[in-house]
Amino acid sequence: MTGVTYSWDFSFLWIYRWLLLKGLGFTLLYTIGSILLGLLVGLLVGLLRLSRSWLVNLPLIAYIEAFRCTPLLVQIIWFYYAFPVLVGIDIPAAIAGMLVLTLYTGAFYAEIFRGGVISIERGQWDAAKAIGMRHAQVLHRVILPQAIKRMIPPFINQSIIQLKNTSLVSTIAVGDLLYQGQLITSATYRPLETYTTVACIYFVILFPMTLGAQVVERRLQRSD
């Protein structure tokens, strides 16, 4: 019955505050980095996915579905351990982690982007073309300004999930928040306090963001 009488003590974590902070720094770096790079990938892939050519679409669909339909954890491990064997180059864990997170979230962003564009009524294309706009102009002046509004809520959701996703890079020894938690645990044998603290840090960052997302979503709805 020792579990019941477990005496909680968080005080030892104070010694490790800089380690946790460093971990948090890595987590934020991986989140922001993979969101920005993923946006680039998603924008490019999403735009190309609008093409009518099968030759263009087929490899892109393969990429998107490969990353959406396999677990991120498996992707990280595969890229770190299996991919180097295939191509014969060692990829440092830090780069493998960022690469996979980018490709993973990029696949989701691509679909958000494409979904936003194709959700705009056909008539908008007709009207813009009828006054002589070229394809790129239609996208720039008419479709994207409307589509971006519809993309923002799913984009925010995906990005919030992405912050949690970064914790999986700890499995290949990238020093993110969870990884530092593991280090602290193995040094102190106090997983309860450590992981509770780690969980709280994630929560403290993400909860205000989800509240913010709701505000943005409501404001977007009102402006329709």
Residues that bind other proteins (CB under 8 A): 121, 123-124, 126-135, 137, 141-142, 145-146, 224
Cβ partners under 8 Å of residue 185, min gap 6: 191, 194, 195
What is the spatial distance between Cα 169 and Cα 171, in angstroms, rounded to a whole number?
5
Q: Shortest gap between Cβ of 54 and other proteins (angstroms)?
A: 16
Q: Shortest gap between Cβ of 51 and other proteins (angstroms)?
A: 13
* Rg of the chain, C-alpha, whole Å: 22
Q: Which is nearer to other proteins, 103 or 143 (CB)?
A: 143
Q: Shortest gap between Cβ of 146 and other proteins (angstroms)?
A: 6
Q: Which is nearer to other proteins, 50 or 94 (CB)?
A: 50
Q: Shortest gap between Cβ of 137 and other proteins (angstroms)?
A: 6
Q: Which is nearer to other proteins, 89 or 224 (CB)?
A: 224
Q: Which is nearer to other proteins, 4 or 131 (CB)?
A: 131
Residue with tokens 């971990």, as numbered in its chain: 23
- With b for 16 or more beta-carbon neighbours within 10 A and e for fewer, the 98-130 pattern comes to bbbbbbbbbbbbbbbbbebbeebeeeebeebee
